[in-house]
Amino acid sequence: MRRWLPLLAFVALVVLVAYGLTRPSDTPVRSALVGKPLPDFTLPAMVEGKPGLTRADLASGQPRLLNVFASWCVPCIAEAPQLMKLKAAGVQIDAVAIRDTPEAVAAFLARHGDPYARIGDDGQRVVQIGIGSSGVPETFVIDGQGRIAMQHIGDIREDDVPKLLKALEDAR
């Protein structure tokens, strides 16, 4: 029995590690920048006819949403109707497109609606990581001075719309 003990211990360790790697985490990664100014950045335009995005654009005096998305992101498709509702309610929405192509983003917008005033191309995820976003989709409420007032992790669902509208109002 003693000679099998190391093998049994190794198998138990492998099972424990495999379980930990396959079990989804219920703990979202929150940005450390909530309540702080956005870092300085300049992103080129992602699609033709729509400007890119800079930090200065987000410090224009009016609260707005900053949506981190990608055309290949299934939850981004799910949240598209809610973003269109927010736009219809008068909310200014800008976007950071992650690891995407202009053609794919243009097709995404044509298919699911275009709520964005500006879309910056963040192909290397520099801005995404810099603002503390860990995935797509994520949405940030930005106050008029360019500070992150709130972070919404995951897709925006219908019951999230009132919360975002309240956060925008509070950010005035």
Give me the pLDDT at residue 21, please: 60
How far, CA to CA in Å, does 9 sit from each of 21, 37, 38, 79?
18, 49, 48, 46
Model-level pTM greater than 0.75?
A: yes
CA distance 25 to 1: 37
CA distance 90 to 18: 47
Residues of the chain with pLDDT under 50: none
CA distance 105 to 86: 20
Helix (H, G, I), strand (E, B) or coil at 96: strand
Q: Before 137, cis peptide (omega within 30)?
A: yes
* CATH numbers and ranges of domains, the chain: 31-171 (3.40.30.10)
Tokens found for residue 40: 């300085």
- Report which of 68, 78, 130 is spatially closest to residue 99, judged by C-alpha positions: 68
Give me the pLDDT at residue 89, please: 95
The 10 Å Cβ neighbour count of residue 132 is: 18
Give me the pLDDT at residue 22, please: 59
Angle at 131 between CA 129 and CA 132, to 5 degrees: 65
